[in-house]
Amino acid sequence: MDDGAEQFPAWVTWRRRPFPDANLLLLHGRRPALVDSGFVGHAQETAAWARAHTGHVALVVNTHWHSDHVGGNALLRAMGAGIAASSPDAQAVTRRDPGCCLAEYLDQPVSPYTVDEPLDDGQVLRLGDADWMVVRTPGHTPGHLSLWQPEERLLVAGDALSDYDVGWVNLALDGPDAAATALASLHRLADLPARSLLPAHGPIPADPSAAFAAATRRAQRLVDDPAGAVWYGARRILAFALMIRGGVPTTEVEPYLHDRAWLTDAARLLGRTSEALAAELVDTMLRSGAIVLRDGRLHATAEHTPVAAAALRVPFPRAWPAATPSGGEAAEPT
């Protein structure tokens, strides 16, 4: 259990985790279910935690396919769990599209997995011993979904919002309307009479209405300031890269950035060269305190859990083996 968890029914176990992992939500009952599975480097820890609390996970439900939400999928599936995800994500993962999970685009490793249960908007899904409604909430990603439990008025929001922020949007890949789409999804969620709001990152908001009001203001700023939205995404992606790599040597960080597709796209949208944007990004994040120079390496300052370097050595989706109907993908390293 964790902060705010006392408000949950007994069949809910919640764990807050720092980056690079998403929070964990375990739903007990005849069909034990885990919502999101964290980063690949901590998959063994995720699986051990779930086993300790329920003995067996029947289903993993992904709110979306970013690396901090699907990293334990391969291991948990090898242990007998099914994987459920939105239909757009499920179709792309089954096809083994090179862009799956944005893993290569963002340079964020994801072990190969298969989706067993595609989910559509309005679908009722049995998790634990309760029925949950699938709510499509695109914006942060096109396939993002949330989960609503009407009797207990529990709302699983994924990265649509948190107590302090909203998810970044990818205007380069998802189009100039991505921020407006995310804002519309927020309005849809705010219309649900949530008693408890469960975000994928950060604490459980003490006041869901206040959290929605703050998130709506933040999302509206991303709509009104597309350049700001691009900068916001770039800062988040670089910080994550530093987290999962234990920092990057100062001599290597700008060459690393020059090779990143996401930075090339951001530079194009901002009317800069990749070289100029890389230098400005590092400089502004140093000045803001978001990153720090220590022992010749740049490090993210936000709280995060270290990742073993070996955990990053998994193939990008273009090299994943064909999807299998029942297990079979290689489990991630520990």
Question: What 3-state class would DSSP assign to 219?
Answer: helix
Produce one character per residue of 30-66: b if its CB has 16 or more CB atoms within 10 Å, e if not: ebbbbbbbbbbbbbbbbbebbeebbeebbbbbbbbbb
Distance of CA 104 to CAs 72, 97, 108, 110, 113, Å? Answer: 18, 11, 7, 9, 15
Q: By the 8 A CB rule, do 324 and 114 touch?
A: yes
Token pair 């939205």 is found at 229
Q: Rounded CA gap, 201 and 195, in Å?
A: 18
- Across all residues in the chain, what is the average pLDDT? 95
Cis peptide before 20 (omega within 30 of 0): yes
Angle CA(227)–CA(135)–CA(191) in degrees, nearest 5?
80
Token digits of residue 193: 């009479």
Closest among 276, 266, 201 to 238, alpha carbons compared: 266
Q: Rounded CA gap, 72 and 49, in Å?
A: 12
The tens place of each residue's pLDDT in the chain, 334 residues long, gives 455 566 799 999 999 999 999 999 999 999 999 999 999 999 999 999 999 999 999 999 999 999 999 999 999 999 999 999 999 999 999 999 999 999 999 999 999 999 999 999 999 999 999 999 999 999 999 999 999 999 999 999 999 999 989 999 999 999 999 999 999 999 999 999 999 999 999 999 999 999 999 999 999 999 999 999 999 999 999 999 999 999 999 999 999 999 999 999 999 999 999 999 999 999 999 999 999 999 999 999 999 999 999 999 999 999 999 997 764 454 444 3
Q: Rounded CA gap, 233 and 169, in Å?
A: 7
Q: Give the model's pLDDT for residue 332.
A: 43
Token digits of residue 78: 């090898």
Closest among 48, 263, 23 to 13, alpha carbons compared: 23
Q: What is the CA radius of gyration of the chain?
A: 19
Strand pairing class (33-35; 248-249)? unpaired
Closest among 52, 102, 41, 109 to 75, alpha carbons compared: 41
Q: What is the DSSP string of 101-124?
A: GGHHHHT--------SEEE-TT-E
